[in-house]
């Protein structure tokens, strides 16, 4: 089958989205690739489709077990042979997957970076016919990024162990510095770099100075949304549980989610949310990366995130189906103080300076009076016109702003 036939047969689409075909062609031509495309832009198809047109197996590096599991389930439902290797498998299941790999029965293999880079595993896959490697959430490679993961740094060895095997890196968010770091660390050779527009035209962005604990503003916002699904991000585990409990007393089907919960509880909350048994998840940033739910209609931040990258990626979980979605950021001077307190004790270094600047950037964004979509695009080296009607600043240009930076200095 050719590209269009493969697209129609396995994915049910009649045509490619913007820039998907450009990336697919580069992969089929054996090039290294770096693709930056907003959440919901169709990155996964860019490596899944060419894998079906190639003779071997594609190895996909992904940071989260839940994300890998959802991808494998979705692929199998579409009739695509795929598997994941993780601590979730029994020894017998791992043995069966290994057998299927050697018999070339698997088209896509998902694996965490720490598993992939084990000497024994690298030796195991040496004998496989590997189409190419995929590094998903590639910003995790860069210490300048907002979600740096030490295990991702180890992926720099891939080109040494497999010098002739192409690598395709995908992310939704990357500044110019992070892009350069990804290319350098993964040792991408003359890569095809494809960047999609960061403007999410179906997202309405609003930021408000937080009054007290912000709960009254949250309830007013939720009343406007109706009975739809959404995520409320909170600063701490304690805050997620308190806000979830509060929402329940107000009649909302809400649950808390954070890294301190038992795995069984996290799985239950995730499943209930994806299957629409609950409407709202109140979470720390431990929730959301790669979540397989396209009909999230709103995202609320009860506190200012530590970076604009975090913020953009988190609001990007809303409206992945292309329908209208709303976002609300609540912020106060105390947020700046809180975020900077985590950095103050670090030794002086370029990383520390960069971390402070990221906090200053997100605080300026929260305070600003110009188009919020345009500010985000500019930060990521994209150029767009003001949105006109998709952010509070464009909808109401005469509103009064509050300079929280000055207030924060008084607290320091």
The pair of three-digit structure tokens given for residue 27, joined into one six-digit string: 């992969």
CB contact at 8 A, 67 and 289: yes
By three-state DSSP, how is residue 236 classified? coil
| Cα 152–Cα 294–Cα 322 angle in degrees, nearest 5 | 110
Q: Is the dihedral of CA 140, 141, 142, 143 positive or negative?
A: positive
**Percentage of the chain surpassing pLDDT 90?**
69
The model's confidence at residue 111, banded by pLDDT at 50, 70 and 90, is very high
Domain 3-195 matches domain 203-411 at the CATH topology level: yes
* Helix orientation angle between 43-52 and 20-28, rounded to the nearest 10 degrees: 40
Please list the residues that pair with 384 across neighbouring strands.
none
pLDDT, residue 387, reads 96
| Cα 344–Cα 350–Cα 354 angle in degrees, nearest 5 | 70
pLDDT, residue 129, reads 96
User: Of 176, 110, 179, 193, nearest to 141 (Cα)?
Assistant: 179
Among the residue ranges 68-72, 218-222, 276-280, 405-409, the one predicted with the least confidence is: 405-409
Distance CA 334, CA 405 (A): 10
pTM assigned to the model: 0.85
pLDDT, residue 257, reads 93
Q: Where are the domains of the chain?
A: 3-195, 203-411
Cβ contacts of 19 within 8 Å, gap of 6 or more: 35, 37, 194, 196
User: Of 117, 179, 170, nearest to 142 (Cα)?
Assistant: 179
Cβ contacts of 40 within 8 Å, gap of 6 or more: 200, 294, 316, 319, 320, 321, 322
**DSSP labels for 75-129?**
HHHTT--EEEESTTS-HHHHHHHHHHHHTT--SEEEE-HHHHTSHHHHHHHTTS-
Q: pLDDT by residue (tens digit) across 10-49?
A: 999 999 988 999 999 999 999 999 999 887 778 999 999 9
Distance CA 292, CA 142 (A): 25
CB contact at 8 A, 40 and 319: yes
pLDDT, residue 402, reads 52
Cβ contacts of 162 within 8 Å, gap of 6 or more: 130, 133
pLDDT, residue 65, reads 78
- Owner of token pair 């709960």: 215
Question: Does the domain made of 203-411 have the CATH classification 3.40.50.300?
Answer: yes
Q: pLDDT by residue (tens digit) across 323-360?
A: 999 999 999 999 999 889 989 988 898 888 988 999 99
Q: Is 60 exceeded by the pLDDT of residue 208? A: yes
pLDDT, residue 400, reads 56
- Owner of token pair 């150029």: 383
pLDDT, residue 399, reads 66
**Top CATH class, 3-195:** alpha beta
Q: pLDDT by residue (tens digit) across 296-321?
A: 999 999 999 999 998 998 999 999 88
């Amino acid at each position: 089958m050719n590209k269009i036939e493969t697209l129609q047969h396995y994915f049910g689409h009649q045509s490619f989205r913007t820039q998907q075909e450009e990336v697919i062609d580069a992969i089929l031509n054996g090039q290294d690739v770096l693709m930056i495309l907003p959440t919901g832009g169709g990155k996964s198809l860019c490596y899944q489709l060419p894998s079906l047109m190639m003779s071997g197996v594609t190895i996909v590096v992904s940071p989260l077990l839940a994300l890998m599991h959802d991808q494998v389930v979705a692929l199998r439902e579409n009739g695509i042979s795929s598997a994941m290797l993780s601590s979730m498998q029994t020894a017998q299941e791992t043995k069966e997957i290994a057998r299927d790999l050697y018999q070339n029965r698997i088209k896509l293999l998902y694996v965490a970076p720490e598993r992939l880079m084990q000497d024994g595993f690298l030796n195991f896959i040496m004998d496989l016919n590997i189409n190419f490697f995929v590094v998903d959430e590639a910003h995790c490679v860069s210490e300048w990024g907002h979600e740096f993961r030490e295990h991702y740094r180890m992926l720099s060895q891939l080109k040494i162990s497999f010098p002739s095997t192409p690598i395709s890196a995908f992310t939704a968010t990357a500044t110019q510095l992070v892009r350069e770091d990804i290319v350098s660390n993964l040792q991408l050779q003359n890569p095809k770099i494809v960047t999609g527009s960061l403007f999410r035209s179906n997202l309405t962005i609003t930021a408000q100075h937080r009054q007290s604990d912000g709960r009254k503003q949250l309830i007013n916002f939720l009343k406007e949304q109706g009975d739809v699904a959404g995520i409320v991000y909170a600063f701490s585990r304690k805050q997620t549980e308190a806000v979830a409990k509060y929402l329940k007393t107000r009649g909302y089907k809400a649950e808390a989610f954070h890294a301190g919960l038992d795995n069984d509880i996290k799985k239950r909350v995730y499943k209930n949310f994806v299957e629409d048994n609950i409407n709202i998840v109140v979470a720390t940033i431990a929730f959301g990366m790669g979540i397989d739910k396209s009909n999230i209609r709103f995202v609320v931040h009860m506190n200012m995130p530590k970076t604009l990258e975090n913020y953009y990626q988190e609001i990007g979980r809303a409206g992945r189906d292309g329908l209208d979605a709303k976002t609300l950021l609540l912020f106060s001077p105390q947020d700046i103080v809180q975020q900077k307190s985590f950095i103050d004790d670090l030794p002086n270094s370029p990383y520390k300076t960069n971390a402070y600047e990221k906090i200053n950037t997100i605080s300026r964004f929260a305070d600003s009076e110009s188009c919020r979509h345009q500010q985000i695009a500019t930060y990521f080296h994209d150029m767009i016109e003001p949105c006109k009607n998709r952010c509070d600043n464009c909808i109401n240009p005469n509103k009064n702003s509050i300079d929280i930076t000055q207030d924060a200095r008084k607290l320091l």
